[in-house]
Amino acid sequence: MLIPLHWLPACEVTYKIEVDVGLSTQKTLNTIVQHLANGQFLSFPLHASFTNLRISVIKSESWVAWNKVVFYTGEHDCKCISV
């Protein structure tokens, strides 16, 4: 999964990746602290079945906006789903 980022200055960001795995059931997949800059791509695997994805910024020195979210599924016949 690739997530292009867009924000003003480069800074350290803490964000949490959560998914809904059933009716009223949320699961935190990862909490990541990383120094990120404008236009940088994040890539991380999601090994879970889910209905909704939530990326929450927990701490940042500046505002953060998700420019585009792209899902890649499968290893061989990869399907791209842009959100």
Tell me the per-residue pLDDT of 3-30, one tens digit each, with 9 for 90 and over. 555 555 788 889 898 988 878 888 898 8
Give how many domains the chain has, as a whole number.
1
Q: Domain range holding 45?
A: 2-82
The DSSP secondary-structure symbol of 9 reads: S
Alpha-carbon gap, residue 78 to 83, rounded angstroms:
16
Q: Number of helices and strands (H, E) in the chain? A: 0, 8
pTM of the model: 0.68
